Amino acid sequence: MVNIQENCTLVDYGKAVTIAAALEVGRRRRGEEGYSISKVNSSHDAFEILHPLMGELEHEEFWILYLNNNNKVIHKALLSKGGITGTLVDVRLVLKQALELGAVAIILAHNHPSGGLKPSAADKHITQKLKLASEALDIKVLDHLILTQHGYLSFADKGIL
């Protein structure tokens, strides 16, 4: 283990610790602010809720926002964790939880650790599969977001939902 103090003075070390602590506080505060958004009016609102949860991960995760009739978030759930290039989505689990919660709408989201915002064929396929299954239960799929560390793509905004 390298001792940081060997390569810098105590003052430099103290500054480095202070900066690291400030960055961590900022990261956590951003997460709390995102969590305080209770109503989703746009894809950007959904991004603000979800980005602190998965924007900087090195593996893929698939999340669902469950909404009531006023587009208020009643629950957010991690559906699956995957590897670097993919994760599994079980339509039945998504809809089971929606029914249990009394949700009338859902927003799908997953991250791309690679930083690319282009939806894959698999991304488009699972979106259509969930949309079709949800319609049979009168549950709307409002959007599917792909998040990266620096931004997002909204299927609804791009007209591919």
Quick one: tokens of 10?
Answer: 């105590």
- The residue written with tokens 């109503």 in the block is 39
80 vs 137: CA distance, rounded Å: 22
pLDDT at position 44 is 93
DSSP 3-state assignment of 16? helix
pLDDT at position 1 is 45
Backbone angles phi, psi at 87, to 5 degrees: -150, 160
Q: What count of other Cβ atoms lies within 10 Å of the Cβ of residue 156?
A: 16
Instruction: Give CATH superfamily name and number for 37-158.
Output: Cytidine Deaminase, domain 2 (3.40.140.10)
pLDDT at position 75 is 93
- Tell me: the pLDDT tens digits for 114-140? 888 999 999 999 999 999 999 999 999
Q: Which residue has the higher pLDDT, 83 or 153?
A: 153
Residue pair 93/129 in contact (Cβ under 8 Å)? The answer is no
99 vs 6: CA distance, rounded Å: 59
Residue pair 59/81 in contact (Cβ under 8 Å)? The answer is yes
- Tell me: the pLDDT tens digits for 43-94? 999 999 999 998 888 888 999 999 999 999 999 999 888 777 667 788 899 9
Residue pair 56/69 in contact (Cβ under 8 Å)? The answer is no
Mean of the pLDDT values across residues 3-32? 63
pLDDT above 70: residue 95: yes
Confidence band, pLDDT 50/70/90 cuts, at residue 9: low
Strand order through the sheet with 140-147? 73-81, 61-67, 105-111, 140-147, 152-154
Task: Characterize 107-120 residue by residue with b for buried, 16 or more Cβ atoms within 10 angstroms of its Cβ, and e for exposed.
Answer: bbbbbbbeeebebe
Annotated domain spans of the chain: 37-158
